[in-house]
Structure 1
Amino acid sequence: MRFVQAALAFAVVALQVAATPVKRAASGDAGYVDPSLDGGSMLTIVPGSKTRIGEPINVIISNQSDPWVLTDYGFTNYSRSLNFQSGDVLTVTYASNQRANLGDGYGSRIQAGIQRYNDSIQEALNGGNHFRYWFQRGKNANTGAVFIAASVEKSKDENHMIVDNGYDLGRDQLVGNATAGTTTDKLGNEYQTTVEWNDSLFKKIKTSQINHNISVDGRVAVLTVKVTKSVSTDGKGSVNTQSSSSRRAAMVPMTITLIIGFVLALISLV
């Protein structure tokens, strides 16, 4: 009898755990942690700069987004749905790698990648919209949020200088593409993106600290991306037409059913 009672107690706890939503790491309601809270910055670090000169990190993919989007493979495919391609062309990156400190405990680290709009080779040669990105995954702020530095640059012959108002333009073009409606990647996954604006993350940053001394309006676009149709989100090409939120929801009653069945089986043995 004591064994049955213990099994029932275990079942109650397991049911409570199964019904409790998983909490994301230390990010509050914002979906990210402000890098400046732990020695980081919303400016990148430009190679060779003797003082703190960088490019503004002006877009954040919130960790309230679909978990698939916050993976390396998933984010690459989401970027493709916005008509961006990897900027690493034939193993050559047509720009110096930059670093960023997201205040997550990793310190200053190199960009995770660079994405270029439309045809990556043509953009690298002729200029246009592009962005660098980092994931906030350190032990001090393991949110998984994606931090993006977007801008519009000139051609390779013009040393990829940023156009006038190029940082705000790069951000706005990226956000405009993302929020225009349903976007679809080459795998067939579909996304819906919403935006909220943060006007406080740049309060302590001066124009003189920004690369090329280009002023910005100080706004950061915080995007939340939901997968509305999932054809392949495991990186292996398997087909699943449920959204990830539907899959998570479906797992809870299945777990509960298995636990109840286990308990009833134990009782029948006593």
Structure 2
Amino acid sequence: MYSTPLAVLGLIYASVVTGMTLQRRAVDFFDPAHGGGTMFDNATFGGEPLNVIISGLSSPDVLTDDGVLKYAKANGFSQECFGFHLGAPQTANLGDGHNSKNQTVEIFRQDGPSANSGALFLAASKEKDASKNHDLIDDGYNIGRNELVAAAVGTKSHDGVTYNTVARNITGMMPAGSNGVNHGIAVDGVVTLLTVSIQ
């Protein structure tokens, strides 16, 4: 397990996708705002930023539930620590025609009828430990994103699969500041796009 506590340690649940023909998508993602969505999920005290996107142009096997779990393990992350989860499940509107949809732990998949990119939207943050109820640290959204990206970029392997990840920062999709942000913690407005290729 990665030593830094991140909300994204809870990235994924393991479920196996079988019997599907996987095809590479045509776009990285669709901007949720174009379909009435937003780059913030719906949390208890405001929205949490969807500050990392795994591109729909990534290798198709990465974008399945089982595949992204394996990818997370290659980067030093795992399922939520020992199965514990604090906090209520959240929803997000990715502008894909599904309106608000439930999270799969910390992942939201853009796969609706009007914007089916297959991209995965993540709410990354850095938290305090369980004894402090996993409250966010100061600047926890930006730091969580940056640490997740730093762990992912480059070439990593897990269980016989090798991944290469390239990151690109995007501005203009998310407003900077703390207005409407969960816990009143300011964000810098940067979303990082990860494109993951299986070697």
| TM-score with structure 1 setting the length | 0.62
Aligned residues: 177
Tell which structure's C-alpha radius of gyration is larger. Answer: 1
Q: 1: distance between equivalents of 2:167 and 2:150?
A: 10
CA pair 37-88 structure 1, distance change in 2 beyond 3 A: farther
Pair 1:70-2:44 in alignment: no
Q: 2: distance between equivalents of 1:197 and 1:208?
A: 22
Pair 1:184-2:185 in alignment: no
Q: Is the 8 A contact 1:68 1:74 kept in 2?
A: yes
Q: Which runs of 5+ in 2 are unaligned?
A: 1-22
Q: Which has the higher contact order (CA 8 A, sep 6+)?
A: 2
**Helix, strand or coil at the partner of 2:149:** helix
1:133-144 alignment, distance < 5 Å: 133-144=107-118
Q: Spell out, residue by residue over 1:216-257, the C-alpha distance to the aligned partner (whole angstroms, 9 max, x if none).
A: 1111101100001xxxxxxxxxxxxxxxxxxxxxxxxxxxxx
* Displacement after TM superposition at 1:23 (Å): 7.4
1:59-138 alignment, distance < 5 Å: 59-87=52-80, 89-90=82-83, 92-113=84-105, 132-138=106-112
User: More helix per residue: 1 or 2?
Assistant: 1
In the other structure, the counterpart of 1:149 is: 123
In the other structure, the counterpart of 2:146 is: 172
Q: Is the 8 A contact 1:199 1:220 kept in 2?
A: yes
Q: Which runs of 5+ in 1 are unaligned?
A: 1-21, 114-131, 229-270
Q: Percent identity?
A: 40
* Displacement after TM superposition at 1:95 (Å): 3.0
Q: Is the 8 A contact 2:63 2:118 kept in 1?
A: yes
Pair 1:215-2:189 in alignment: no
| TM-score with structure 2 setting the length | 0.83
Q: 2: distance between equivalents of 1:23 and 1:169?
A: 31
Coordinate RMSD, CA, aligned: 1.7
Q: 1: distance between equivalents of 2:130 and 2:89?
A: 15
1:25-40 alignment, distance < 5 Å: 27=27, 31-40=28-37
Q: Spell out, residue by residue over 1:165-211, the C-alpha distance to the aligned partner (whole angstroms, 9 max, x if none).
A: 110000000100111x31112x21000000111111013x6512111
Q: Is the 8 A contact 1:57 1:148 kept in 2?
A: yes
**Helix, strand or coil at the partner of 2:49:** coil
Residue 200 of structure 1: which of 169, 172, 190 is its match? 172
